[in-house]
A and B are shown apart, each in its own frame.
Chain A
Amino acid sequence: MRTSTEKLINYFMLSFFAILVLAPFLWIATIAFKTQIDIMMMKIIFKPTLFNFDKLFFSKEATFFRDIFNSLFVGIISTLIILVICSMASFTMIRTKISNWITAVLFLWVIVFHMLPPITFVGSWFQMANSVGLFNSRIALILAHVTVNLPLGLLIISSFMRDVPTEIQEAAYIDGCSNRQVYLKVMLPLLGPGLFATAVIVFLFSWNDFMVAMNLTAKATQTVPVSIATFSQQYEVRYGEMAAGSLVSLVPALILTFFAQKYIVKGLTAGAVK
């Protein structure tokens, strides 16, 4: 950009797109604070009310606190499992001498699975969960989320793994460390930022998932997105609660984006096919 006009046009264009991205969120934020009547009257100026939030959390049939607990529980446990499984596997595949075909087959399968529509697997997971009595349990959903998000976890951790200098690892071997010790005492500490980026992204994808959660859970174990979707399924769509629930469900992503934007960008780019 050499001239200031070009600069101005550029900022103008970016701001235009930024408004297109932001406007829908602002719109739903206003809806969340309107009464059903104000929503229907399309009132621009309205008296903000917490009525929708009150109903969402405290009405007699409200389940939202439990939904949030379910989402957090499933998200955190599945993220931890993915971190352990993927960091171990990635270390062994990338940083130790191991037959090339094992690495090649595993990576290829993980990438292919990442691209396949998950609905094609959910039917089988449902059947499997049912046959071992795990339907409507958090365990089934945790296992499903581990599977769905495993490719992303492995790809992101692996791209950070490749950036760790080999010299440090070699020095550790010379000092007499075994692979297990190198993994635990050298690699894991050095991978800190990578593990953090992976955790943030994998947790958010688990928190956001609707399709898998809807098919593997029932009322008691449903997660936040499933709960939000039910508001649109009554005879009368409950717009206010739908908007309020949506607004609450944005909180984790907003907090994590604010604090970890750089890691998320690096992780998401690394997780795409390179």
Chain B
Amino acid sequence: MAYFLQQLINGVALGMVYGLIAIGYSMVYGIIGMINFAHGEIYMIGAFVSIIAFTLLGMLGISWAPLALVLVLIVAILVTSLYGWTVERIAYRPLRGSFRLAPLISAIGMSIFLQTYVQIAQGAKIKPLQPVVTGGFVFTDPTGFTVTISWIQILIIVLTLVLMAGFTWVITRTPLGRAQRACQQDLKMAALCGVDVDRTISTTFVIGAALAAVAGLMATLYYGVIDFFIGFLAGVKAFTAAVLGGIGSIPGAMLGGLVLGLAEAFWSGYFSIEYKDVAAFTILVVVLIFLPTGILGKPEIEKV
């Protein structure tokens, strides 16, 4: 029972990280109908900016954890959002209205470019981070098993819930959210009604990148090591989460992330850790075959 509980906690924390990245995929897909293949790299850049900011703060002598965390969070969000904006501006905007696969191929190119760029600029070695937040709660059950919930896991869960609440508010209550929902329904009609479509799409990429930055920061804290290659796997898994929840749906992305995180935690807890990535990919293939619209998605009808 205790073991089960431990895997549950690990899975929820992992799933929330996936969920945050998945929102970026889901929003972009909802509005312009493309898979932003470079989104995983945006997450990786978020993680790198975080580790660089932590190191810089350490060199400046700021070591009080809460202050350092807040500063790093702000820096990571700002820089990563700028990356998200630039990627959209350079690689996707000129291709709007082009044939269907062009933006996807451009996105793959962008993803390779960003990955190699970080590899060249920062080196190919893995980067270890000194633990910033340590400790947590330890529970012992009568049979002697212990269940640990670390401060980082609590931080991940709380921060994600706060972000989700804020994000839901933006989507449902603000003019920006209204413009986004309008674009999601019909780009051309939204433009005719006076919505600045280009600006809305840019904002969508910025928000997606900001959430990916938070995910990157939390993954850095959680795992303690990063390298330039983490974006690929995280990207594919987050995309799986987005599809699982129903692409285009934001609560769906979060739900999909949780399901995937739990599946992965239980799989590596009870079966084999080597095949945990295979499990994630298998879920993706199976979901796309049997439930192509996801859990909360709407079926897409193609009209002539």
Chain A complexes with chain B: no
